[in-house]
């Protein structure tokens, strides 16, 4: 199977079912049910994982949640912007930091505008309406496989 070299996740409504800066202070953050297993499975297979997310109001909340959830160390690159810049800017930074070309990246996000903007760069993208699931992961991996099969001269790991 053709696997991506870098899998990138949005945070709010993709890994967890809320906006982190709007969760009441007394409420403990939590992930979607299949998120932790997916992150661990990718890491176990040697696939780099990263974050491309926007946090609208409170700086540091998203990173604090990642630490509270015990998953902060799984992500090599963490592009958490505190401005409403397009996700394409997150990916330009990810490419610089990781050295992974766009065509080897797979991205999961809950907003269609982010999917469309990022797809223009050549990134394989999957819209997740109710958080990351094994089915959505399979969809993303199938997209990578179909993309590499469509171009016979593609390098083996292109997705």
The better pLDDT of the pair 158, 92 is held by 92
**pLDDT class for 92, splitting at 50, 70, 90?**
very high
Q: Which of 10, 109, 110, 135 is catalytic?
A: 10
- Domain segments of the chain as ranges: 6-150
135 catalytically annotated: no
HEC secondary structure over the chain: CCCCCEEEECCECCCECCCHHHCCCCCCCCCCCCHHHHHHHHHHCCCEEEEEEECCCCCCHHHHHHHHCCCHHHCCEEEEECCCCCHHHHHHHHHHHHCCCHHHEEEEECCHHHHHHHHCCCCEEEECCCCCCHHHHHHHHHHHHHHHHHCCCCCCCCC
Q: Which of 26-30, 77-81, 95-99, 142-146 has the lowest mean pLDDT?
A: 142-146
Question: Does the pLDDT of residue 106 top 80, yes or no?
Answer: yes
Q: Which of 12, 44, 110, 135 is catalytic?
A: 12
What is the per-residue pLDDT for 156? Answer: 46
What is the per-residue pLDDT for 20? Answer: 85
**Taking residues 128-135, what's their average pLDDT?**
96
Q: What is the pLDDT of residues 10-54, one digit of tens each?
A: 999 999 999 888 887 788 889 999 999 999 999 999 999 999 998
Predicted TM-score (pTM) above 0.85: yes
Architecture of the CATH domain 6-150: 3-Layer(aba) Sandwich (3.40)
């Amino acid at each position: 199977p053709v696997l991506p070299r870098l899998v990138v996740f949005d945070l709010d409504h993709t890994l967890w079912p809320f906006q982190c800066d709007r969760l009441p202070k007394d409420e403990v953050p939590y992930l979607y049910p299949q998120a932790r297993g997916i992150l661990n499975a990718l890491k176990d297979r040697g696939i780099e994982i990263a974050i491309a997310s926007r946090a609208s109001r409170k700086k540091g909340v998203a990173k604090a949640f990642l630490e509270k959830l015990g998953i902060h160390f799984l992500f090599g690159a963490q592009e958490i912007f505190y401005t409403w810049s397009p996700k394409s800017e997150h990916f330009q930074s990810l490419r610089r930091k990781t050295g992974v070309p766009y065509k080897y990246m797979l991205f999961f996000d809950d907003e269609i505008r982010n999917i469309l903007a990022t797809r223009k760069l050549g990134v394989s993208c999957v819209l997740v309406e109710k958080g990351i699931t094994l089915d959505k992961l399979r969809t993303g991996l199938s997209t990578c496989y179909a993309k590499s099969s469509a171009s016979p001269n593609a390098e083996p790991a292109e997705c």
